[in-house]
Chains A and B, each alone.
Chain A
Amino acid sequence: MVILMQGKIVMPGELISEKPERISYSYVDNGKTYSTVVGLFSKGKLVPLQGPYEPLPDDLVVGIVAEVRFSGYNIDMNSPYMAFLSSREIRERFSMSDAILARIIKVDEVKSIDLGDAKKLPKGLLIKVSPVKVPRIIGKKNSMVDMLKSATGCDIFIGRNGYIWIAGKGDAILVQKAIKMIEAQAHTTGLTDRVAQFLKKQK
């Protein structure tokens, strides 16, 4: 049996505060605050347990070149919206289906997304995870991803959007298995230890 993380699992429409408060993923009705998502609520913070990627400026994302245009590239980044990477932002040339690592510069109210700081990723494997689980895969001060890197010898590039790029000569399949395990158990405690054990057993 796994132990859930600190906090309470709340459902859409569940009361989280008797006062009107500005909490992300919540709404205020009649002077009270309610959750809009299935999430973990603790210490005035609501973390969704599932959901789409909502692009924010300064996010580091992994994307796939979906279209080459005259002035730049359309980038698929696991969100309902295509991102645009202007040719002015980059020195190299990309082609269709290249994987890139980039930073979001700007997001406007109709969700046009501009990317910058792009670099091409080396040959590798793309896996998709739920975007809300990404902080858990990175871990506190990169602890989880550093462990995965050293245990498997892979280069791992994690996008905040839920795309993960695994490159290098290591055991990519093992990384994939470990990440799927983290994704399924992201809301539980003692996960780093369990993943460490899992990696040891698999070797």
Chain B
Amino acid sequence: MGSSQDKPKLLTNGKRIDGRGVEDLRPIKVEARVLNDADGSAYIEWGKNKILAGVYGPSECIPRHDQSLYRSVVRCRYNMAPFSGLEGHGRSGPSRRSKELSKVLKEAFENVIISENFPKTQIEIYVEVLQSDGGTRCAALTAAAVALADAGIPMKDILSAVAVCKIDGQIALDPGKEEDNFGESDMPMAFSTRTGEIMLFQMDGLLTKEEFSKGVKLARAAAEKIRKIQTDAIGKAYEEPKTERFLTIKK
């Protein structure tokens, strides 16, 4: 986190550092089915974030003492590549940060995966952050939801995630790296847009009650947009089928 001395001005005349308004998302591109050997996969470019998600399963649950006779065990590994960003992220094995994110992603998906269909099995979600620029947990969750749908794992809904922050006293959608580090508050959320339920909720910093409700409302509206991007990506994988899977995102 940066000290208050080198804090840049986050908001000038209603424009943010990267030129967005306070209610704008960064550009999001999603592509489903990009890996040959995973059961389901997705690649997301969310602003400068680049994240690859792969899903395996349901497969036999190993070790066996983790098995459940009633449901499938959901596992998640969030990992940052050594070259993903500054601050030495991902350079020394699992960290406190990556363990936390693996846990919150897992618990978000446990809410929607209909795991009773596959007793004694496990469903593995692997998320690799190739390049990070703030808001990787939301981008990772969004990509992993597409990968899960692509793997054909039964789910109640496709989850969509987005964060809200408070910068220079104003509530803004989808914080980038500087806004995340120097802003007053950061609040990532994941929604099941069908019901409007919140499946992941975390918060750093302080917000008033009014700011809080405004932020949730903003995020909920953005989640609808993100869901549209997700479903379009899945649909595209079927409208333009390819025998070999590979990345085709173009600038």
Contact = CB atoms under 8 A, between A and B. Distances in A.
Interface of B: 39-40, 57-60, 69, 112, 114, 117-121, 149-158, 192-195, 231, 234-235, 238-239, 241-243
Given A50-B150, A184-B243, A36 B238 contact: no
Top-3 shortest CB links A-B: A51-B152, A13-B157, A50-B152
A52 interface: yes
A120 to B, nearest CB: 25
Nearest to B117: A54
A31 interface: no
B204 to A, nearest CB: 29
A181 B153 contact: no
A188 B241 contact: yes
B157 A9 contact: no
A12 B241 contact: no
Interface in A132-176: 132
A82 B120 CA distance: 11
- Majority DSSP secondary structure for residues of A touching B: loop
B119 A51 contact: no
A109 B194 CA distance: 30
Nearest to B72: A80
23 contacts: A2-B241, A9-B235, A11-B231, A11-B234, A11-B235, A12-B149, A12-B157, A13-B158, A13-B194, A27-B156, A29-B156, A36-B154, A36-B155, A38-B234, A49-B152, A49-B238, A52-B153, A81-B60, A82-B60, A111-B118, A180-B243, A184-B242, A187-B238
Given A110-B120, A111-B120, A132 B243 contact: no
A135 to B, nearest CB: 15
Nearest to B119: A110
A13 B151 CA distance: 15
A184 B242 CA distance: 6
Contacts of A109: 119
A11 B227 CA distance: 10
Nearest to A82: B60
Given A110-B119, A132-B152, A180-B243, A12 B58 contact: no
B243 A50 contact: no
Interface string A165-203: 000000000000000110111011000000000000000
A13 B60 contact: no
Contact of A50 (B151, B193, B231): B151
A34 B69 CA distance: 26
Contact of B238 (A4, A80, A110, A111): A4
Contact of A37 (B118, B152, B195): B152
Nearest to B118: A80
B119 A111 contact: yes
A116 interface: no
A187 B119 CA distance: 29
